[in-house]
Amino acid sequence: MIKVSNIMTKGVITVTPDSGIKKAAGLIASKSVSSLVILDMENPVAVITENDIIRGIISKKSKVRDVMNKEFIIISPQTKFSEITKVLREGKIKRFPVMEDGKLVGLVTETDIIQATRDFTRFHQIVQEVILAVFGLATAFFLFYFSPIGVSILR
């Protein structure tokens, strides 16, 4: 079973609700991330994305608190992959701060989930190919073993 700890992004970039939008935009650009977690007293209170920042700049907002998105779910590193994919399929939430022992230890985004799904699908394909190869070899062996040529060679 895939756990969140295997797919989460560690080293999450954070800001406070009173941080400026320009500072948040600079962090997103310089760190090459698509979102930041907003911490207030070490607790996640919101997430801000590139789209939130653009909306804030267009509407001339100056603080992160004016555009931050409070719709998120905090999860633990032991949360099952199937639980977060269910929430993702339902719609609104695409980012999941990961907390352990009262500390932010990671972030799972839609991109992380898609990558994990691709990896799992590729692994599944490899396993299927191996199984088909084994059955193919076993079939070839038995066809040869019981054929007239095989009978004359092996007996």
19-71 pLDDT tens trace: 999 999 999 999 999 899 999 988 999 999 999 999 888 888 889 999 988 88
> Could you read off the pLDDT of 65-124 as tens digits, one per residue?
999 888 889 999 999 888 888 888 887 788 999 999 989 999 998 888 888 878 777 878
- Sequence ranges of the domains in the chain: 4-110, 115-154
Can you give the three-state secondary structure of the chain, one letter per residue?
CCEHHHHCECCCCEECCCCEHHHHHHHHHHHCCCEEEEEECCEEEEEEEHHHHHHHHHCCCCEHHHCCECCCCCECCCCEHHHHHHHHHHCCCCEEEEEECCEEEEEEEHHHHHHHHHHHHHHHHHHHHHHHHHHHHHHHHHHHHCCHHHHHHHC
pLDDT for residue 14 is more than 90: yes
* pLDDT for the residue numbered 1: 63
Fold type of domain 4-110 = CBS-domain (3.10.580)
